[in-house]
Amino acid sequence: GIQVEQSPPDLILQEGANSTLRCNFSDSVNNLQWFHQNPWGQLINLFYIPSGTKQNGRLSATTVATERYSLLYISSSQTTDSGVYFCAVGIGQNFVFGPGTRLSVLP
C-alpha cells in the first residue's frame, strides 16, 4: 500500500516564526490533502492539493506529484496554529494518513 512520511515529527516555534512541513509518499496519487487537528481534536481541511500550489492567508502548500512530495508553509505563526498537521494521500478509495507533525507555537 501507499506509504506516507511526514517531517519533522515535532516542531516548536516562537510566535511570528515561519515553518515548512514536508510530506513524502511512495506512489502516484490523485488526492492529497493537508489537515490541521486542533487541540480539541477537530480535523480542519486546509488544502486539497494533488498538484500545484495554493495559498490561503498565512498558509500555502505545494505538491510536486512527479517527485512524490508536498510542502506546507506556515508564515508568521500564531499560537492558534498549534496542533497536529496531517498529510493524507490516496488514489480512489485508498486514502492514507501520515503520522503527523506536532506543532507547538509559543507566545
Partner 1 sequence: NAGVTQTPKFQVLKTGQSMTLQCAQDMNHNSMYWYRQDPGMGLRLIYYSASEGTTDKGEVPNGYNVSRLNKREFSLRLESAAPSQTSVYFCASSVGTGVLGGYTFGSGTRLTVV
- Closest to partner 1 by CB, 83 or 90: 90
The region that residue 76 occupies, defined by phi over 0 for left and psi between -120 and 50 for alpha, beta otherwise, is left
- Asked if 83 interacts with partner 1 (CB under 8 A), we say no
Site for partner 1 in 6-45 (CB under 8 A): 30-31, 33, 35, 41-43, 45
* Length of the chain measured in residues: 107
Using CA atoms, how far apart are residues 69 and 102, in angstroms rounded to an integer? 19
Q: How far is the CB of 17 from partner 1 (least distance, A)?
A: 25
Specify burial of residue 25 (Cβ count, 10 A radius: 0-12, 13-18, 19+): buried
> Which residues of the shown chain bind partner 1 in the complex (CB under 8 A)?
4, 30-31, 33, 35, 41-43, 45, 48, 86, 88, 90-93, 95, 97-100
